[in-house]
Amino acid sequence: MASSSTFRNLDPAKQDRILDEALTEFAAKGYGQASLNALVGRLGIAKGSIFQYFRDKAGLFRLVFDFAVGQVKDHLRAVRGQTQGQDVFRRLEQSLVSGLDLIHDNPRLFRLYLRIVYEGDVPLRGQLLQSIRLFSRDYILELLAEGQARGELRPDLDPALAAFVVDAVLERFLVARSLENMDAGLGLYAAPPAEAARLARELVELLRRGLGAA
């Protein structure tokens, strides 16, 4: 249990508000640079309260992480359910488009993930990352396995390699979209958001050509 009973006893609306504002802070500045001073300032609560709720900065972070990952997992599970029975590449495309929507609606979720990946001193970093990447890898491996069973993939395909490639391409695409939020107007990463859906289709088409059955 990462949070104290004190926190769990709070009015749920207040719990959510605290985690949400903390997510904003961590997503914006990363773990090390996030300021609990700034956080309590925005929340309008006493500094000591944070430590009563979460013991220390790391404890708060841990809960924010679970809070964020929970939202992402819910989202992905919904997509998997809704696309049941479709062609594997169609499902990948849907997942991608849906991920783009999620990033658009709540950019902080993906941003927090990136913080963890690229920052060094995040507490429990390895453990947190593993929990995410395993989920992502499994999600894709499962999709591919079902596709392969239905003969939609080249029979000689190495599943591990394929999963790595798909995972990499999809994630990179999401990263680009996520960073575009930060670097709006710099045009660093790809086409304008309006074209995102088209890009997603073309990307998956490329994967189909590389991985799909003849």
Partner DNA sequence: TATGAATGAGACTTCATTCAT
Partner DNA sequence: AATGAATGAAGTCTCATTCAT
The 16-45 site mask, x for binding DNA (CB under 7 A), equals ------------------xxxxx------x
Assess contact for 103 and 177: CB atoms under 8 A: yes
Of residues 26, 27, 57, 108, which one binds DNA by CB under 7 A? 57
What whole-number distance in Å separates Cα of residue 43 and Cα of residue 46?
A: 9
Does 179 bind its own copies (CB under 8 A)? Our answer is yes
From the list 147, 137, 198, the residue with the least C-alpha distance to 173 is: 198
Assess contact for 58 and 116: CB atoms under 8 A: no
Query: How many residues sit close enough to DNA to count as binding (CB under 7 A)?
Result: 24
209 binds, among DNA, its own copies, none (CB under 5 to 8 A by kind): its own copies
Task: Judge residue 80's burial from the number of C-beta atoms within 10 Å of its C-beta, 0-12 exposed, 13-18 middle, 19 or more buried.
Answer: middle
Instruction: Work out how close the CB of 69 gets to its own copies at its nearest, in angstroms, rounded to a whole number.
Output: 15
Query: How many residues sit close enough to its own copies to count as binding (CB under 8 A)?
Result: 44
Of residues 78, 191, 197, 213, which one binds its own copies by CB under 8 A? 191
Of residues 120, 151, 155, 192, which one binds its own copies by CB under 8 A? 120
Q: Which residues contact 162 (CB under 8 A, 6 or more apart)?
A: 144, 153, 211
